[in-house]
Each structure stands twice: as C-alpha cells, then as structure tokens.
Structure 1
Amino acid sequence: MRIGSLGIKIGMTQIFDIEKNIAIPVTLIKVGPSIVTHIKTNEKDGYDAIQLGFGFVLSNDKSTYIKTNKPEKGHLQKSNVASCSYICEYKVKNIEQYSIGQIIDVGTFQTGQFVDVIGKTIGKGFCGTVKRYNFGRGPMGHGSKNHRAPGSIGAGSTPGRVYPGKRMAGRKGGTQATIKNLQIIKIHSEEGVVAVHGAIPGKSGNLVNLLPSLKS
C-alpha cells in the first residue's frame, strides 16, 4: 500500500558532491501534479484505493483540451476535471486522508527517500536472435552461408513441433520494467522535479510511475 505519482522523464545529468568529491549520475523526473479523481472503499469495492489523474484539464480551463469520451467525462465529473491523459490507481491504508479533487504533487516525496520507478523500455524494433538474445553467429568465411541465421529450432518427428517459449527473432524492448531502490538525491519543489540516483527505463518524455520503495 504505497501512494506514488505519475511523472515524465526529462533526461539525465549529474550532480557533484563536494564533500565526497564524486559526480552522481541522476535522472530528472517531472512529477505531477496529479488530482484525485476517484476514491474506492472497502465497503463498496472490496479494498481501499485512490485514483490519480495525470495531465488533467479542469472544467473551467478552456485553453487546452484532451479528447475524452462520455464514460470518461462522467467518471471525471466529480473531481471537476474535463479531461485527463493518464489515470493510475494506488492502494492506501488511511482512505480518510484523501478527498476527490485533492492535488498530489512532488511534496509526497522527500530527499534521501528510496523509490521504485516503473516505465516502458526503449523499443528496438524487430531483431534477430544475435541481437535479441546474444546468440553466437556462424563462421563468416570459407563459403559458409550461416552467418546470423537462428539454425535448428527443434527435432523432427519427435516431438514434431516447436515448444512454446522458444527464443527466436521478434520485437525487442518496449516492455514494462521496474528499477527498485533508487534514492532521491534532490527535489526542486518550485518546478516539481526530482533527481533520482541512476538510470530509469525509457527515453526522455516517457511516462513513469514513482512508488515509495519498501526499503524506505
């Protein structure tokens, strides 16, 4: 039961620690602001949780608009939100601490805190077995015609099929990954940016999910 927040990966830089005389590689993440769009209770839904909307547009703001269908509009109506880019749910213990329309920002995190970052890895496209699984290649000379081919993928009559899960060519990357126990080095409250020690999945501009680590 950890309440986190959605954010956007800005990129990587480094912070110099004068006392230890080292350069710390960090990833900058624009966290929130998110708005509480829905509250689930144990009596009604079987568990306590809140839904946070990220990239939202309030009903009285006509300058920007995100295309929203009627079911989404009805779901967001209670929180006075006209449209929302992303919605994420977090299970919480003290549900009475939250209310619909409440703003959750970078203030939920602290310097020195450990977080888990969930994101989508960079897509590599369709790759062969050498690049995808680090397979060895065949001889490159002496008339060989098997350079980067996958080779045999199974026996003949028995079993007469290819077993599920066989490592073959296919799409590489573009999957969800979680990096655990990354420490927050610095927080810029005015800009809503946190500097996390280390690298996180995805490229700059990707959506990421920050969760307080069980270590903190």
Structure 2
Amino acid sequence: MSLEFVLASHNQKKVREFQRIIGERMPQAVVHEYDGPEPVEDGVTFAENALIKARRAAEHTGHVALADDSGIVVDVLGAAPGILSARWAGHTAGDEANLRLLLDQVSDLSRPHRGAEFRCTIALVVPPSLLDGGHEYVAEGRWRGTLAYEPRGSHGFGYDPIFEPEGLEVTAAELPPEEKDARSHRARAFAELLPELERVAALLPAG
C-alpha cells in the first residue's frame, strides 16, 4: 500500500537523511518536502515539538505529515542540551559553535563520564480531511554513545563529529551514510513508526 506524505522540515541535511531511511524501508512512499511556514517550537519535550511541527504541516498542506525533533543528551549535564541542541550556543549559532561549546563544557571529564545519547522523536499527523477525526502517533529512537574529545569525520551534521556510538571506535560523522542510516536514532524511531505508517496507509482512501 502506497502512502503520500509531507516531511515537515526545512533542514535539508535532515531531509536527505530521512529520504534515504524512508526510501530503504518504505520504497512505495511518496515524500514531499515542506515549503510552508515554520511554527514556534515552544514545547518542552521532543515529542511536543515534533507534534507542533507535524500538526502545522498537515494543516498547511492537507497531507499526512511527519516531523521529527531530535538532539543530543549528555548524562552529566542532566540530559542537556536536549531540545535546545540546535541552539545550544545561541539562536544564531551553527553546528560548529554548538559542538565546540559542548566539548568545552565537558573538557575536564574522562571517558567514563562522557556518556551521551542521540534521541529522535517522530510525530505522525493525519489531518481530519483524510481520516475522520484525524490521527496522531509518536515514535522514539535512542542511540547510545560517548562524547569524543575532538570532532572527527566529514559525514552527517550537527553533533555527529563528536558522538562515538556504543560499540564503535569512530564518530557518527566517520560512518558511511548507509551505515549511519541503519544504526541511528532516526532510523530506530522510523522502525518503530513503520507499522503505524503501514496501518494508516491501509486506512486512507486510494488516490
């Protein structure tokens, strides 16, 4: 059963990663990029922010919408940066400034105390125009690891260059994209979401 939906993100690196993951696991899906307005992400959890984005995209486009909210959580920082990951060094800061600030904050810690994990929450929203009463579902994926001492690798984005996945001696940015796609928090969240996507696809009217 095919499914047409919009991916509610203006982050092109994230969009490309999602397209690879979705294409591998649900090749029959038709994925539209979102070109509508960005909502204010004023939730206090990954799930709340993912739902805010997916609801806005579903309302704006009339399509089934997927949106993710994701970030890195560091054990000794009490799960920070968390939902503030993308703006940890300030609203106008980029990836490099964010990860450099985080590395500075844990610079004195030895490896056993540098535990962290990537978290991804994906929200699925079906508008009432497509399914009576509408429908919402949230899936979560976690990827456990350790913070490196210095950035390494040229793949990926965000905090990938300083995240060493559990069981590996490389950073997420040193993994080939196809290997990261198979292991990542985003891949794990989508794997949890997939049965629900397939169920929704079967409920929607053809065409």
More helix by share: 2
Structure-2-length-normalised TM-score: 0.24
More strand by share: 1
Structure-1-length-normalised TM-score: 0.23
More contact order relative to length (CA 8 Å, sep ≥ 6)? 1
